[in-house]
Amino acid sequence: MVLIEGGTFLMGSPEGDDEAADDERPAHQVTVRPFAIARCETTVAEFREFVRDTGYVTVAERGTGCFRIDSDTGAFLRRSDANWESPGFRQIDNHPVVCVSRNDAMAYARWLGLRTGTRYRLPTEAEWEYAARAGTRSRRFWGDDADRGCGFANGADLSAKARFPDWSTMDCHDGFVLPAPAGSYRRNAFGLSDMIGNVWEWVEDCWHDSYKAAPTNGGAWLGEDARDCAGRVVRGGAWNYRPSGLRSANRFRRGAGDTSANVGFRLVRDISN
């Protein structure tokens, strides 16, 4: 875990940002309290330890399967036999775990808390963006130019373009067409790896289609009844994602039970004052 000092930042995208979507606006000041966040995304080995200890069966393994990439077309198709152990491509222990739902991630967090005596949870959307920006106000923590991103993030690149010609890609080679082992790229100024690219990451918040009336205290925006919140937020983009989506402010809506071979998670814990 990396300790993140609290602070105030401008969350979202300003008017005039031609890469941004309306759901990233209005940009607004948010103050976050200190917290600790995992340096990397949760790995296959870490998740396997949880499964072996508890016998947990993921959402994908209960019959729904997982969306995985078709190696011929590059499209994502649901496969009933796809899951965190078999996402459709070769994995090693330090790859980020994928094909896990938000509910699976929360189950892992509860187990880790019971095992260590410390409460772990998903980051709030504000905490996630604060950590991803690492003190910057540019579109990406390395600057505004997506094509400089290959040393910093695993997104759709020229190697992917050669395999999937219809993809929109960065004009560079990042070394991986599919997910990279966690921590393969340069860290941001807070010492965090893969905040942009590699796999989307679940956060705690319900989905809202704009930041109108969003909280400014860094807490999760859950709505009136979080149990009925059908849409949840993922952040950061992924290994197959277009350059315009590999930004600190980019966000996407998923159902809490959705599983995909480009979605994983990392955890945070609160810091006592």
pLDDT at 230: 85
Average pLDDT of the chain to the nearest whole number: 96
What are the tokens at 90?
A: 């070769």
Question: pLDDT value at position 87?
Answer: 98
Q: Which two tokens stand for residue 71?
A: 């190696």
Token representation of residue 76: 């994502």
Query: How much of the chain is in helix, strand and coil states, percent to nearest 5?
Result: 20, 20, 60
Q: Is the pLDDT of residue 73 over 60?
A: yes
Residue 11: strand pairing partners: 28
Mean pLDDT of 180-198: 98
Give how far Cα 199 sits from Cα of 119, 135, 140, 215, 241, Å.
24, 22, 16, 26, 9
Q: 2-270 has which fold? A: paralog of FGE (formylglycine-generating enzyme) (3.90.1580)
**Does position 219 have pLDDT exceeding 80, yes or no?**
yes
Which tops the pLDDT comparison, 177 or 225?
A: 177
Q: Is the pLDDT of residue 226 over 60?
A: no
Residue 46's pLDDT band (cuts 50, 70, 90): very high
* Burial class, 222, CB count within 10 angstroms (exposed 0-12 / middle 13-18 / buried 19+): middle
- pLDDT band, residue 29 (cuts 50/70/90): very high
Decide if pLDDT at 95 tops 80: yes
* Other beta carbons less than 10 A from residue 256's beta carbon: 18
Percentage of residues of the chain with pLDDT beyond 90:
96
As a whole number, mean pLDDT of residues 238-247 equals: 97
Average pLDDT over residues 49-75: 96
pLDDT of residue 25: 98
The answer to whether residues 206 and 229 touch, using CB atoms and an 8 Å cutoff, is yes
Predicted pLDDT of residue 153 = 98
128-160 residue pLDDT tens: 999 999 999 999 999 999 999 999 999 999 999
pTM of the predicted model, to two decimals?
0.96
Band (pLDDT 50/70/90 cuts) for residue 273 is low
pLDDT exceeds 90 at position 229 = no
pLDDT band at 225 (very low <50, low <70, confident <90, very high): low
